[in-house]
Amino acid sequence: MPLLGFEPIMIATCLIVNAFYQFTLHSQLMPSFGWIENIFNSSYVHVVHHSSNVEYLDRNHGGIFTFWDRLYNTWQKPIKGMKPVFGISHDPGTTNAVVHNIFEFQEIWKDMKKSPKLRHKFMYVFGPPGWSHDGSSKTSHQLQRELKESGEFGRVEAEPVGVRA
């Protein structure tokens, strides 16, 4: 960026402001900002991006602006009463940070070895998560469609009531 004429202090300022903004996105201390969330991302809508609920898979990717998600049909408003389940849908079963960083690449490699066709290998790398040449796994769109067809999409489970003995 300095080679394009931007002052280093301006670049540093932008990086600091962006880091602060990203910090607020990833905290759960901020409330909903109402209509502002039609334009800017907030922690209230960004929580969808980090949850593994079927309704929320592959949604709300925008880092700053939410209109990108609306444009690319990846927008999902948080469903009232639905508690987001944080994490990934297929957990490697460890807390090792190195394993978590390479786990998905290992899974893609295993998937690529399932088919001898180059086109299938390409789709395993560049296709949507969950794509499979033999239908052995499903994409988020397929899972969400099934959930909608069953009438369960967005259904909120009632909290269990504690009973004293």
DSSP 8-state code for residue 137: S
Tokens of 88: 């990934």
Model confidence at 132, pLDDT cuts 50, 70, 90, reads: very high
Query: Is pLDDT of 96 > 90?
Result: yes
Question: Per mean pLDDT, which range of 9-13, 44-48, 88-92 is the poorest?
Answer: 88-92
Separation CA 79–CA 56 (nearest Å): 9
pLDDT band at 91 (very low <50, low <70, confident <90, very high): confident
**Do 47 and 107 belong together in one domain?**
no
Residue 22 lies in a domain: yes
- What's residue 52's pLDDT? 92
pLDDT bin (cut points 50, 70, 90) of residue 28 is: confident
Among residues of the chain, what percentage have pLDDT more than 70?
95
Among 71, 88, 113, residue at a domain's last position: 71
Residues 133-152 pLDDT 10s = 999 999 999 999 999 999 98
Alpha-carbon gap, residue 20 to 42, rounded angstroms: 12
Number of domains in the chain: 2
- Give the pLDDT confidence score for residue 11 in this predicted structure: 93
In a domain, 161, yes or no: no
> CA 55, CA 148: separation in Å to the nearest integer?
9
pLDDT of residue 29: 81
Residue 163 inside a domain? The answer is: no
Range of the domain at 9: 2-71
Give mean pLDDT, residues 78-90: 89
Provide CB contacts within 8 A for 160, sequence distance 6+: none
The reported pTM is 0.79
Do residues 37 and 64 make contact, with C-beta atoms less than 8 angstroms apart? no
Are 19 and 67 contained in the same domain? Answer: yes
Is 88 inside a domain boundary? no
Any domain includes 25: yes
Give yes or no: residues 63 and 6 share one domain.
Answer: yes
87 falls within a domain: no
| One domain, residues 101 and 67 | no
pLDDT digit string (tens) for 57-75?
999 998 899 999 999 999 9
Contact between residue 115 and residue 78 where contact means Cβ atoms under 8 Å apart: no
Q: In this predicted structure, what is the pLDDT of residue 158? A: 59
Distance CA 89, CA 51 (A): 9
